[in-house]
């Protein structure tokens, strides 16, 4: 795999509180057509969840999100993460992600951050927080002067707003949580997660 942006139109952004939920949740998402799964490093269970998915759901492409430090990079890749996503970046974090051997999406929210990454040879980025940072109009404005930059908008993206993002020439996929409603996760209603994932997977990159 060389690009996170080409795996699926939607990358589920998953917060796992109990590592025992990781495998059935991943299987539901994959069955619904969403093979790329970003497990955020926001909970103590995250690394165990990544290990479990990597070991038991081979058809999933599990990655780590909320990567904030070189230590996070090492821990995530060691656990089996096949891609990395950060909400922002520093030179130290970027160097660690580059050296990890897996694809990565450093986070940006301003034009200057995009230009700085392009200067460093990085063309694929996470746009975060997408809605708060200007949404579709902002990314559309960047396509003219910076056509080489491509994005995965995440943060406030919904089933309703995702098609407008995916229609942009500089968007490869979107990240979202709407296929993972809190009540479904609490009830371990994996069938509902699969249904919502299938709906998301049907969105067109037009």
- Token pair of 197, please? 């994932």
Q: Considering the candidates 6, 17, 38, 59, report the single residue annotated as catalytic.
A: 38
C-beta of residue 1 within 8 angstroms of C-beta of residue 83: yes
Phi, psi of 65 (to 5 degrees): -115, 175
Phi, psi of 149 (to 5 degrees): -85, 135
Residues in Cβ contact with 153 at an 8 Å cutoff, skipping those fewer than 6 apart: 126, 127, 128, 130, 135, 139, 165, 171, 174, 175
Is residue 126 annotated as a catalytic residue, yes or no?
Answer: yes
Is residue 38 annotated as a catalytic residue, yes or no?
Answer: yes
Concatenate the DSSP letters of all residues of 186-206 into one string. HTT-HHHHHHHHHHHHT----
Name the residue among 1, 27, 5, 111 with its Cα closest to residue 14: 27
Residues in Cβ contact with 137 at an 8 Å cutoff, skipping those fewer than 6 apart: none
Q: Considering the candidates 126, 140, 194, 199, report the single residue annotated as catalytic.
A: 126
Which residues have a catalytic role annotated?
A: 38, 126
């Amino acid at each position: 795999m060389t690009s996170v942006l080409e795996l699926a139109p939607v990358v589920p952004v998953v917060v796992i509180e109990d590592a025992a939920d990781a495998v059935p949740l991943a299987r539901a998402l994959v069955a619904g057509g969403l093979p790329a799964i970003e497990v955020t490093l926001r909970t103590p269970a995250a690394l165990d969840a990544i290990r479990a998915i990597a070991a038991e759901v081979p058809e999933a492409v599990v990655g780590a999100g909320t990567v904030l430090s070189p230590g996070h990079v090492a821990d995530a890749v060691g656990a089996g993460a096949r891609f990395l996503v950060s909400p922002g970046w520093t030179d130290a974090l970027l160097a660690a992600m580059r050296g990890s051997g897996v694809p990565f999406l450093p986070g940006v929210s301003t034009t200057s951050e995009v230009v700085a990454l392009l200067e460093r040879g990085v063309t694929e980025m996470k746009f975060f927080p997408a809605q708060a940072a200007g949404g579709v109009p902002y990314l559309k404005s960047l396509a003219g002067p910076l056509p080489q930059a491509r994005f995965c908008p995440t943060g406030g993206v919904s089933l309703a707003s995702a098609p407008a993002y995916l229609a942009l020439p500089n968007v490869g996929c979107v990240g979202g949580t709407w296929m993972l409603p809190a009540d479904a996760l609490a009830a371990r209603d994996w069938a509902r997660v699969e249904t919502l994932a299938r709906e998301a997977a049907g969105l067109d990159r037009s």
